[in-house]
Structure 1
Amino acid sequence: MKSLKRWLLAAFSMMMAALILSGCMPGGMPEKMGPYKCYYGDVDYASVLRWNDITYMDNNDGDISGLKTGDRIGKINYRKADHQCPRNPMQNGDATVLEVGTPLYAVKGYKTSARLMAGERLYEATDNPSAQTMNDLLDIEGKIKTVRFTSGMDGSPLKDFTPEANAVFIREYPKLKYIPFDQLSKETKQWVGDKYWLEIEMTDGSSRRITYNTMFEAFHPSCYATPELARLVEEQRKLIYVK
């Protein structure tokens, strides 16, 4: 069973957008020094990298054994964990914890704007200023197999969507308008409200964790649900408790 800390890092990747873009959660008191921040004490870094102006985060929960590595596209040039006063914001080729020189590869079947392999780890896009839809961000149209509710405590599966609901979600979710999380965060009062935890399983066996905010009927990675999808999520959630 995955630890709670590991699960929360993945589930809250975009909720912590400001920290992810700077790449860290300081354990000591930061001191501003121009465009830089110096950290004194422990720093708990989420594993993030930036490439072609897109921010990616390590998918540390999914099964990636079915994925195939494509062409090499670059390497990591700068590691924030090596610096007490790391540069901020992150630049292309920067990573938080990946070693300098770590090669970056495409993932066969996916656009590099959605997924990269760094070493042997899968990194998925969490912020893309060029994206217009969720499919632009995630490149998942035609690749979703199953959607299910999972536990907010440890990520364990609770219940799959029914086949009918699954078909609707698979068709409609990739079409939703992508909204940068800093914008959605402002519109949702810093993402307040009750949340459901879901997992999108792909046909290749990999998966993507997403969150649904019941107060604002919004998903994260960041987009608003259509009325149809909002009703569908609520209806499917009730089935968890039906014996």
Structure 2
Amino acid sequence: MRKRTLLFSILLLLTACSFNPSPQNTIIDWVDFVKWNDTTYGANYEMNELNKDWETAGEVGEVKYRLDGHAGTNHQTKNGDAAYLSKGTKLFAMKGYDPAFRIIADGKVYEVTESDTAETVGDFLDIEGKVQRVILQSEQDLSFIGEFTDEHAEQLIEELVVMPYEPERRATEGKRVFFGIELVDGTMTRSVYWPETGYVNYGGVASEEVKEIFEAEIGEYDY
């Protein structure tokens, strides 16, 4: 009887261990990101699909820890972490851009998604003097819907770069307006605007002038 009790206890222990989640047996679908210098960057999939050899402008850091296959869901992200880039992967500035906005790693472009230190959106959104046009895009497939007037495009950029960076005020209720800022080098940075709350996905709340610009352009194209 004692042997049976001992065997049953061992089986219970083994069963419990087999259901104990760990980074090795838990599959997590990470977003492709890297964090460096208190800034989180996400892979710019559209640019990376072009398979171009993007010019770099000096090394800025390297990956210290790869989350995929190692970290659990409760991992606290820190500088040097990356979802899929291997430990030791070098991080480079992208030629023509402040590394606070874009960097290159393993031949791919990563664009800022979050900053721990920025006070304004312009602290990382390095687009002044580099904008070709601003466009409205479809919510379904990001296809082209319409182009902002030159005046509105210029005013929008001026307002965006001085917009206070306040991601804690994120409010994403209601209708979404997708827009893209096409740059003179042919690349694009995309964002979303929520008219109901005034929140812009770069991390701030729109000024009255920005709200008026979007209202006019949305009305023009019956968005």
Q: Matched residues in 1 for 2:144 and 2:91: separation?
A: 31
Q: 1:30 to 1:196 in 2, by over 3 A?
A: farther
Count the aligned residue pairs. 203
CA RMSD of aligned residues (A): 2.5
Q: 1:70 to 1:83 in 2, by over 3 A?
A: same
The answer on 1:157 being equivalent to 2:138 is no
Q: 1:86 to 1:194 in 2, by over 3 A?
A: closer
Q: Matched residues in 2 for 1:120 and 1:64: separation?
A: 9
Between 1 and 2, higher relative CO (CA 8 Å, sep ≥ 6) is seen in 1
Q: Is the 8 A contact 1:57 1:125 kept in 2?
A: yes
Matches within 5 A, 1:160-199: 160-179=147-166, 181=167, 183-185=168-170, 188=171, 191-199=172-180
TM-score (structure 2 length as normaliser) = 0.82
Q: Matched residues in 2 for 1:64 and 1:227: separation?
A: 40
The answer on 1:231 being equivalent to 2:212 is yes
In the alignment, structure 1 segments of 5+ residues that lack a partner are: 1-28, 32-36
Could you say which residue in structure 2 is the equivalent of 1:120?
107
Could you say which residue in structure 1 is the equivalent of 2:186?
205
Q: 1:39 to 1:225 in 2, by over 3 A?
A: farther
Residue 221 (structure 1) aligned to one of 193, 199, 202: 202
Could you say which residue in structure 1 is the equivalent of 2:31?
46
In the TM superposition, residue 95 of structure 1 has moved relative to its aligned partner by 0.2
Q: Matched residues in 1 for 2:134 and 2:68: separation?
A: 35
Residue 96 (structure 1) aligned to one of 61, 83, 89: 83
Q: Matched residues in 2 for 1:174 and 1:64: separation?
A: 30
In the TM superposition, residue 82 of structure 1 has moved relative to its aligned partner by 2.1
TM-score (structure 1 length as normaliser) = 0.75
Amino acid at match of 2:40: T
Amino acid at match of 1:133: T
Could you say which residue in structure 2 is the equivalent of 1:13?
none
Q: Provide, for residues 3-26 of structure 1, a one-character-per-residue CA deviation record: whole Å limited to 9, x for no partner.
A: xxxxxxxxxxxxxxxxxxxxxxxx
Q: Matched residues in 2 for 1:192 and 1:177: separation?
A: 20
Could you say which residue in structure 2 is the equivalent of 1:34?
none
Q: 1:224 to 1:85 in 2, by over 3 A?
A: closer
In the TM superposition, residue 153 of structure 1 has moved relative to its aligned partner by 1.4
Q: Matched residues in 2 for 1:64 and 1:162: separation?
A: 31
In the TM superposition, residue 86 of structure 1 has moved relative to its aligned partner by 6.6
